[in-house]
Amino acid sequence: MMFLLLLFLLGISYAISLEEAVEVALKNNTSVRISELDIRKAEQAIRQARAGILPQVNLSYSYTRLSDSLAYGFTPKDRQSYLIGLNQTIFDRSIFTAITLAKDSMELKKLVHEDVKRTVEYQVKSLFYALLYKKKVVELLKENLSYWEENYKLAQAKYQAGILTKVDLIRTQAQLESAKAALEQAKTDYIKSLEDFKNLLKVDSITEPEGELSYSPFDKPLDILQEELLKNNSTLKVERVNYRVLQRQVELAKASYYPTLSANLGYQGSTGKKSFSGGTQWIEGYTAGVSLNYKIFDGFARDANVAQAQIDLLKEAQNLKDVESTQLTLLRKAYDDLQSLKTQIDATLKSLEASKEALRLSTERYRYGITTLLEVLDARNNYNTTLQNLYLLYYNYNSTLALIERLTR
């Protein structure tokens, strides 16, 4: 990672592997950074909630200057007073509920952070595999262009020797131009995808992805995957904790039904009358007490707050069921897609062997004038289509695996 950072700072272009891309994206992605700030904010919310159970210490001082018309007799012109007070909550159900709520909210923010990271990781993998696929298509079409360039040279030689018609020569030239156009289109698609990839990683110096699309059999049963999803799925974890947070909100609303009890202790002083000697006497002393508060009637505001919190909880319960159902449905569909892709890949590999051999034979026959150009065209197109389809299947297979991993982690 430090090496990549050095290359980035120096403005040097470089290729990047999948693991490096994921690491860079998790470091630079805006959503990941925002979720990290949300965690820090939740930490401060816990501190704020805990402040309610700590003693509150206050200090106040006042000074008043009286005019001669007001300060008569033993009344001093300069009046001063001070108060040092301490207030300690003994019982307040809302404070203790708020602390628990803040802790649950902190856990929720951490899970959201992990969920965002899993989403970004999946996005990186999907784009990375798409880049590898489009890179292979470009390579394939470059090879195809070289093939038709050689074929055109051969056609020109045959035409000049009088053994190839002008129509076949023009057809060969048209196929060459078509191969050039297809290659340019593939290059454009690749460059556009590379720009999207750079934007996701917030890095401009990437030249290409490293690696190859591969096919590795995946044989884990669906029931095991479903168990892993219910246990590990980050989106589902977020919704479960969010449900718990809303339960705390209901408890917090109900806390207003309970009385509050607090104790206070203070020391205060103020200027009294003037003394016979002309000085100012101070009146000072301690105060101590307890305070019990209970709201008897508030116009049904508490009932309304509790009802609203309970409705939000019911809504989240339905949402939790929907999220669980959606995640399981996505998993089942991805699993079915994976099984289908495995069958298609096996069949395409066999077709590729046949089309490759057919292309070799038709090319040799055409070179010796045994067959027509149309057979070569058909064989080459069949080979290109089969190989490109194989690359597409590899891309879909790896992307589907990445989705299954995203759902079950």
Name residue 97's amino acid.
Answer: T
| Strand (E) or helix (H) holding 279 | none
For the record, the structure tokens of 177 come out as: 């131009």
The answer to whether the CB of 252 falls within 8 A of the CB of 94 is yes
Reference 82, options 265, 266, 262; nearest CA is 266
Q: How far from each other are the two terminal CA atoms of the chain, in whole angstroms?
A: 24
- Between CA 402 and CA 123 the distance in angstroms is 9
| Strand (E) or helix (H) holding 280 | strand 280-293
Reference 200, options 133, 138, 125; nearest CA is 125
The answer to whether the CB of 86 falls within 8 A of the CB of 55 is yes
pLDDT at position 409: 83
Q: What sign has the CA pseudo-torsion 71, 76, 79, 85? A: negative
pLDDT at position 377: 81
The answer to whether the CB of 58 falls within 8 A of the CB of 52 is no
Phi, psi of 269 (to 5 degrees): -150, 155
Q: What sign has the CA pseudo-torsion 144, 149, 154, 158? A: positive
Phi, psi of 323 (to 5 degrees): -65, -45
| Strand (E) or helix (H) holding 79 | strand 78-91
Q: What is the pLDDT of residues 148-184, one digit of tens each?
A: 898 889 889 888 988 888 888 898 899 899 999 999 9
For the record, the structure tokens of 75 come out as: 């009344």
The DSSP output letter for 308 is: H
The answer to whether the CB of 95 falls within 8 A of the CB of 89 is yes
Instruction: Count Cα neighbours of 349 within 13 Å in the Cβ-side half-sphere.
Output: 9
For the record, the structure tokens of 80 come out as: 């001063």
CATH of domain 16-54+93-258+301-408: 1.20.1600.10
pLDDT at position 4: 43
CA triple 185-187-188, angle to 5 deg: 65
Q: What sign has the CA pseudo-torsion 338, 402, 230, 217? A: positive
- Between CA 198 and CA 190 the distance in angstroms is 12
- Between CA 145 and CA 188 the distance in angstroms is 16
**Residue numbers of the chain with a pLDDT score lower than 70:** 1-13, 71-74, 274-279
For the record, the structure tokens of 143 come out as: 């090879």
For the record, the structure tokens of 20 come out as: 């490096």
Specify the pTM: 0.84
The answer to whether the CB of 360 falls within 8 A of the CB of 97 is no
Name residue 298's amino acid.
Answer: D
Residue 55: strand, helix, or coil: coil
DSSP for 109-140, written as a single string? HHHHHHHHHHHHHHHHHHHHHHHHHHHHHHHH
